Amino acid sequence: MQRSVAFRREGGDVLPVVFVHGIRLSGACWQQQKRLARGRVAAPDLPGHGARRGEKFTLDGAVGAVAAAVDEVGGRAVLVGHSLGGYVSIAAAARHPERVVSLVGAGCSLVPSSALRGGFRFAHRGLATTADDGASFSAWLLRRVLPAEVAEPVIAAGIASEVIPDVMEAAAGMDPLADLARYPGRVLLLNGRHDHFRLGERRFLAACQDGALQIVPGAGHYLPLTHGEGCARVVKGL
């Protein structure tokens, strides 16, 4: 049975949700979650991604994109961020706590250390040696790991491998543990059991003022995109 994402206020109204995508992807990756949603939904493209390819990615610009999306859906919303989008959502919640009702961070429970950033830079150098900046390989990989409902819109919107250096530069200035400590609202850390981005999850949970952690068996880093309905059921009761 198809279930709906439904974050509710005390009075029973369905809360708006802003979905924030991961690195190289775009707001197009949230097709399944948007289909399952009952209330108002926004899924912005972060700078350097999707319709905003060619723009420089900065954390300030990304937080601004999320804040604008919250305004679009009414001024207060639940944030659901995946990977890079999770780190951006954590920063947005810390900066604008009055506008973020609660926060779901999927695949973003690891401090973006120099070693992690170096791994992304290494991968980018490999992609950059191909004629199409790795677009064909990335499309092949996404079609293998994601349902067609998600993969095809993402591929059509463009896979922004060229943004990786800018994101890594911005990641050097991110402090998700401090940001979580500043945000007073509810936080759900949602991780696939096989996701290497969950390696710091206990530190992230300890940093939250009102946090919870849920591990999804059989899932990896792309949890919100590969387990769409299961993810919707988990976040429904936040």
**Contact at 8 Å (CB) between 35 and 4?**
no
Alpha carbon distances (Å) from 82 to 23, 111, 128: 9, 14, 24
Instruction: Give the Cα-Cα-Cα angle 200, 134, 47 (nearest 5 degrees).
Output: 60
What are the backbone dihedrals phi and psi of residue 202, each rounded to the nearest 5 degrees, phi first?
A: -70, -40
Residues 183-193 have a mean pLDDT of 96
Q: Quote the pLDDT of residue 233.
A: 75
List the beta bridge partners of residue 80: 19, 104
User: Beta-carbon neighbour count of residue 126 at 10 Å?
Assistant: 11
Please state which of the ranges 17-26, 94-103, 113-122, 192-201 shows the lowest mean pLDDT: 113-122
Alpha carbon distances (Å) from 226 to 13, 36, 41, 201, 230: 28, 14, 20, 21, 9
Alpha carbon distances (Å) from 171 to 83, 87, 178: 12, 9, 14
Q: How far separated are the first and last CA of the chain, in Å rounded?
A: 20
Task: Give percent of the chain with pLDDT exceeding 70.
Answer: 93
List the beta bridge partners of residue 216: 192
**Contact at 8 Å (CB) between 204 and 228?**
no
Per-residue pLDDT band for 237 (boundaries 50, 70, 90) equals low
Q: Taking the mean position of all CA atoms in its chain, how far away is CA 14?
A: 21
Instruction: Supply the mean pLDDT for the chain.
Output: 91
Q: Please, what CATH class does the domain formed by 17-236 belong to?
A: alpha beta
What's the burial of 186, exposed, middle or buried (CB within 10 Å: 0-12/13-18/19+)? Answer: middle
Q: Is residue 62's pLDDT more than 80?
A: yes
The amino acid at residue 14 is V
Q: Quote the pLDDT of residue 5.
A: 45
Token pair of 231 as six digits: 């993810």
Per-residue pLDDT band for 236 (boundaries 50, 70, 90) equals low
Label residues 105-120 b or e (16+ Cβ within 10 Å = b): bbbbbbebeeebbeeb
Global pTM reads: 0.93
Residues 110-129 have a mean pLDDT of 92
